[in-house]
């Protein structure tokens, strides 16, 4: 049983407003009920909530939050009839929202957006928290619980950095629930990190220099499977240090007029569309795999199975192949060695761009770094020709 609330524009506009509907669905059956009306300007389509400018903001916002709290309870999800589902929402019983139900919902959203790294980090933290609190409502996420969690991790030999990471993920879930009105903010994390000092060190990013890149381009002393890994590594580099996940899920519709368009999966809703040149060398790699795999009629450029488990397995195998290639070809990463992995490619593009004196703002546009509001307003500051010249310069010197 599932329930959502959203503006329903398909029903048409009436007096300048669209209906807001509660939609209950189960096993291909669904029922809808109008719970209010709104204009487009008064509705937040990202969060499916009324804006404060809405005439009935307080009542409508509170009603939707009550519905959402009930929608994630195990009691509602265990129902088997959509009519029972609607009746459930009419109950005035107070709902204490389960923290883990909400966390599972957020993790599922991330996986659907291919933000598997973030989803995994959330899941690891939740699994650790469940060891001391198998059942947990938001009301019980308090300072006592968090201090006990912190102390237990210390007794288990966890380092401050690891404990901080767990707490950061738990806090992120809690704050998201607060923003959505799922719970009142009791500020349980205030001052929680004061006794968790960590030594801050400048992160050392290993990178491939031009000699290493040229070795990969010219090599013929590798197996066909290793050649796939090398080709993808070079393609990542030619696409301005694209993340492996974005290459893995690259669609044919994202390529047009010798341009490639994509959003970094890592940034989720904060991401924006990146546009880079499809260099001839990159096109040659793409054409090679489209032709060889006979996937001309398929949605994706590459033929591999597209789901989370398949991607994780592919990534692990990919990095192992790169490690063998690195060893066989005696490729040394700069500045002090390290393993050649898919993440090194992005560091390599950024480092070579820095060495070439490319403007940091151009690098940001090419690589799709997260922007603040001012950056977003000026994201088209550099013309296509300038960006393409710098992309070519970084890739080939």
Query: pLDDT category, 294, cuts 50, 70, 90?
Result: low
Assess whether 85 and 103 both reside in one domain.
no
Measured between alpha carbons, how far is residue 220 from residues 223, 253, 281, 317 in Å?
8, 32, 17, 20
Assess whether 245 and 295 both reside in one domain.
yes
* Position 203 in a domain: no
Assess whether 84 and 157 both reside in one domain.
no
Assess whether 80 and 110 both reside in one domain.
no
* pLDDT tens per residue across span 137-179: 888 999 999 999 999 999 999 999 999 999 999 999 998 888 7
* pLDDT tens per residue across span 88-133: 876 644 556 789 988 998 898 888 777 788 889 999 999 999 999 9
Which range marks the domain in which residue 135 is found?
99-179
Burial 281-294 (b: 16+ CB within 10 A, else e): ebbebbeebbeeee
Return the pLDDT at 355: 94
* Position 44 in a domain: yes
* pLDDT tens per residue across span 16-71: 888 899 999 988 888 888 888 899 988 988 888 888 888 778 778 878 888 888 88
Name which residue leads in pLDDT, 389 or 290: 389
* Position 295 in a domain: yes
Strands of the 2-7 sheet, one edge to the other: 2-7, 18-26, 29-38
Query: pLDDT category, 270, cuts 50, 70, 90?
Result: low
Return the pLDDT at 295: 47
DSSP structural state of residue 140: G
pTM across the whole model: 0.59
Assess whether 170 and 24 both reside in one domain.
no
Q: Which two tokens stand for residue 270?
A: 């904060």
Assess whether 129 and 161 both reside in one domain.
yes
pLDDT of 246 higher than 80: yes
> Under a CB-based contact definition with an 8 Å cutoff, are residues 173 and 127 in contact?
no
Assess whether 379 and 236 both reside in one domain.
yes
Query: pLDDT category, 376, cuts 50, 70, 90?
Result: very low
* pLDDT tens per residue across span 319-375: 999 999 999 999 999 988 899 999 999 999 999 999 999 998 899 889 987 654 444
Query: pLDDT category, 11, cuts 50, 70, 90?
Result: confident
Assess whether 284 and 389 both reside in one domain.
yes
* Position 205 in a domain: no
pLDDT of 273 higher than 50: yes
Assess whether 229 and 355 both reside in one domain.
yes
* Position 312 in a domain: yes
d(CA 149, CA 144): 9
* Position 188 in a domain: no
Query: pLDDT category, 308, cuts 50, 70, 90?
Result: confident
CB contact set of 305 (below 8 Å; sequence gap of 6+) = none
Assess whether 392 and 346 both reside in one domain.
yes
Domain end marker among 55, 89, 123: 89
Return the pLDDT at 266: 72
Other C-beta atoms closer than 10 Å to the C-beta of 195 total 10
Return the pLDDT at 96: 64
Beta strands in the chain (DSSP E): 2-7, 18-26, 29-38, 43-44, 49-50, 255-256, 259-262, 274-277
CATH of the domain at 333: 1.10.443
What is the DSSP annotation of 169-214? HHHHHHHHHHHTTSS----TTTTTTTT-----------B--HHHHH
Measured between alpha carbons, how far is residue 154 from residues 134, 149, 158, 159, 258 in Å?
20, 9, 5, 7, 54
* pLDDT tens per residue across span 194-236: 998 876 554 567 999 999 999 999 988 899 999 999 999 999 9
* Position 158 in a domain: yes
Assess whether 239 and 324 both reside in one domain.
yes
Return the pLDDT at 9: 87
Number of structural domains found in the chain: 3
Assess whether 49 and 114 both reside in one domain.
no
pLDDT of 264 higher than 90: no
């Amino acid at each position: 049983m599932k329930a959502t609330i959203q503006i329903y524009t398909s029903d048409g506009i009436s007096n300048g407003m669209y209906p807001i509907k509660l939609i209950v669905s189960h096993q291909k059956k669904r029922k809808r009920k109008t719970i209010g009306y709104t204009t487009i300007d008064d509705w937040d389509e990202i969060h499916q909530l009324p804006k404060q400018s809405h005439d009935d903001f307080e009542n409508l916002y509170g009603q939707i939050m009550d519905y959402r709290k009930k929608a994630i309870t195990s009691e509602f999800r265990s129902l088997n009839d959509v009519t029972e589902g609607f009746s459930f929402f009419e109950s005035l019983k107070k709902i204490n929202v389960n923290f883990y139900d909400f966390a599972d919902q957020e993790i599922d959203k991330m996986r659907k957006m291919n933000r598997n790294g973030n989803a995994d980090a959330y899941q690891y933290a939740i699994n650790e928290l469940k060891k001391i609190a198998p059942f947990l409502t938001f009301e019980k996420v308090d300072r006592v619980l968090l201090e006990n969690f912190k102390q237990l991790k210390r007794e288990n030999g966890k380092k401050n950095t690891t404990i901080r990471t767990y707490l950061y993920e738990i806090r992120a879930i809690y704050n998201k629930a607060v923003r959505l009105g799922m719970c009142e903010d009791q500020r349980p994390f205030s001052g929680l990190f004061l006794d968790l000092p960590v030594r801050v060190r400048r992160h050392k990013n290993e990178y491939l220099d031009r000699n290493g890149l040229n070795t990969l381009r010219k090599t013929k002393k590798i197996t066909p499977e290793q050649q796939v890994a090398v080709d993808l590594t070079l393609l990542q580099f030619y696409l301005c240090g694209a993340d492996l996940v974005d290459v893995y899920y690259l669609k044919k519709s994202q390529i047009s007029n010798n341009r490639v368009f994509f959003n970094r999966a890592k940034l989720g809703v904060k991401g924006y569309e990146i546009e880079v040149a499809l260099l001839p060398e990159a096109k040659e790699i793409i054409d090679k795999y489209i032709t060889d795999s006979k996937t001309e009629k398929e949605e994706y450029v590459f033929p591999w199975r597209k789901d989370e488990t398949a991607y994780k397995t592919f990534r692990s195998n990919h990095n192992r192949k790169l490690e063998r290639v690195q060893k066989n070809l005696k490729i040394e990463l700069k500045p002090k060695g390290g393993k050649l992995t898919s993440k090194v490619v992005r560091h390599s593009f950024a480092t070579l761009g820095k060495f070439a004196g490319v403007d940091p703002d151009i690098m940001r546009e090419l690589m799709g770094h997260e922007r603040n509001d001012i950056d977003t307003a000026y994201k088209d500051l550099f013309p296509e020709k300038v960006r393409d010249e710098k992309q070519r310069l970084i890739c080939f010197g």
